[in-house]
Amino acid sequence: MTAWLYLAAAIALEVAATFFLKLSNGFEKVHWGVASIALYSACFWVLAPALKTIPVGVAYAIWAGVGIAAAGAIGAFAFGEKLGPLQLAFVAMIMAGAVGLRLTTASE
């Protein structure tokens, strides 16, 4: 279970880093850009222990899939970005795949 907690923390750090990268406005606001780089670095430090027990393909697919959905939600709520119905359906398919991978991967 610990590996899955590491993976969840890595996802949270990656999503926060992406949010800060957006706030940096193309690194025009350097403090947000530096914070983004720090969070991306922390993300990989936290992801590494998860990869000791979770297969890399499964971990990466879940990390990317959940990150995509979370970034889309942040984009919509924090930045007013719009996703159309078809785009939302595809994000839902990505999430279904991430959940399916988690449910079919043996625990440590």
pLDDT band at 66 (very low <50, low <70, confident <90, very high): very high
pTM over 0.75: yes
Instruction: Taking residues 58-84, report their average pLDDT.
Output: 92
Three-class DSSP labels, the chain: CHHHHHHHHHHHHHHHHHHHHHHCCCCCCHHHHHHHHHHHHHHHHHHHHHCCCCCHHHHHHHHHHHHHHHHHHHHHHHHCCCCCHHHHHHHHHHHHHHHHHHHCCCCC
Task: Tell me the pLDDT tens digit for each residue of 37-62.
Answer: 999 999 999 999 999 999 998 999 89
